[in-house]
Chain A
Amino acid sequence: DAMVIQNPRYQVTQFGKPVTLSCSQTLNHNVMYWYQQKSSQAPKLLFHYYDKDFNNEADTPDNFQSRRPNTSFCFLDIRSPGLGDAAMYLCATSSSYGNYGYTFGSGTRLTVV
C-alpha cells in the first residue's frame, strides 16, 4: 500500500545533541510537510517542500532544518534540541493538484533528556 513512513517511532536524544528524523513516501506526492505537535495543541506547520523548493514558516526556529534529497525522502534536523522541542513530529504529503488533503505518517515522538 502507498504510504508515508516515519522512522523512528520514538526517539530519545540528549539536550543539545543533534538529531535527525526521517520520512519516506511511496505516493509520489510533490509536497512534503513537517508538523510539530505538542500535547493538547494543534499540529503546527514547521516547513514544507514543494518538489525541491523549501518553504519555511516565519516562526519556525533556526534550530530546525530540513532536507529533501529526492521525491521520496524528507528529513527533519534539530541542531541543538532543547527541552521545549519534545513533541510529536508529523510528516505529511499531498498532491499539488486540488484539495485532497494530506496523508500523514504515524509520527515520531521525540523526548529530550
Chain B
Amino acid sequence: DQQVKQNSPSLSVQEGRISILNCDYTNSMFDYFLWYKKYPAEGPTFLISISSIKDKNEDGRFTVFLNKSAKHLSLHIVPSQPGDSAVYFCAASAMRNTGNQFYFGTGTSLTVIP
C-alpha cells in the first residue's frame, strides 16, 4: 500500500511562474519529509526537507509547506527555471532505531517551458 502519494504524474509551467508540486501521506507517524530531484539516468539528489515540528521551510527559490492535519505537503518553486525540469520525489520517514527508512512517492515530472 502506497503510504506516500503524488497524484500528479506531470506538470508544465512557464519559466518565471510558480511551480507547485503536491504530496499526500497516510501514516501519521511520519515526522520528517524530504523532496528529491532526479534527472534522467542519475540518482535522486536532495533538495529540501521539513520536520513535523515546522509548517514551512524555505531555501532560496524552494519552499516546502507541511499541513499535518491534512497529511499534505507541497513544494513551491518560484520563479521556475528551465533547469528545474526534472522528476521530483516526495519522501517521508518515521524514526526507526536501525536507521531512517524513507517511503517515496511515485514522482512528478516537472517541465519548465522557456
**Binary CB contact string for chain B from 36 to 63 against chain A (1 if under 8 A, 0 otherwise):** 1000011111100101000000000000
Cα of A99 to Cα of B98 in the assembled complex, Å: 12
User: Are B32 and A99 in contact (CB-based, < 8 A)?
Assistant: yes
Query: For chain A residues 69-107, which have a beta carbon within 8 Å of chain B?
Result: 90, 92, 94, 96, 99-107
Tell me the bound Cα distance from A109 to B41 in angstroms.
8
Interchain Cβ contacts under 8 Å between A and B, 26 examples: A9-B41, A30-B99, A31-B98, A31-B99, A31-B100, A42-B89, A42-B103, A42-B104, A42-B105, A42-B107, A43-B104, A45-B101, A50-B98, A90-B44, A99-B49, A99-B51, A99-B93, A101-B34, A101-B49, A101-B100, A102-B46, A102-B100, A102-B102, A104-B43, A106-B41, A106-B43
Q: A53-B98, A100-B100 are in contact. List 11 more A-B contacts (CB 8 A).
A: A6-B43, A33-B99, A43-B89, A92-B43, A94-B100, A99-B31, A101-B46, A102-B44, A102-B102, A104-B43, A104-B45
Instruction: For the complex of A and B, list the 5 residue pairs with the smallest distance between their C-beta atoms, beginning with the closest.
Output: A104-B43, A31-B99, A99-B32, A42-B104, A50-B98
A94 touching B99, Cβ below 8 Å: yes
B102 touches A101 (CB 8 A): yes
Interface residues of B in 79-114 (CB under 8 A from A): 89, 91, 93, 95, 98-107
List CB contacts (< 8 Å) of A1-59 with chain B: 4, 6, 9, 30-31, 33, 40-43, 45, 48, 50, 53, 55
Chain B, interface size: which category? 20 to 34
B111 CB to nearest chain A CB (Å) = 16
**Residues of chain B contacted by A9 (CB below 8 angstroms):** 41
What are the residues of chain B within 8 A of A105 when measuring CB–CB? 43
The reply to whether the CB of B4 lies closer than 8 angstroms to some CB of chain A is yes
Q: Say whether B9 faces chain A, with CB atoms less than 8 Å apart.
A: yes
CB distance from A46 to the nearest CB of B (A): 12
Complex Cα gap A35–B41 (Å): 15
Contacts of A109 in B (CB 8 A): 41
Known A90-B44, A101-B46, A107-B42; contact A40-B99, beta-carbon cutoff 8 A: no
Complex CA–CA separation, A49 to B97 (angstroms)? 12
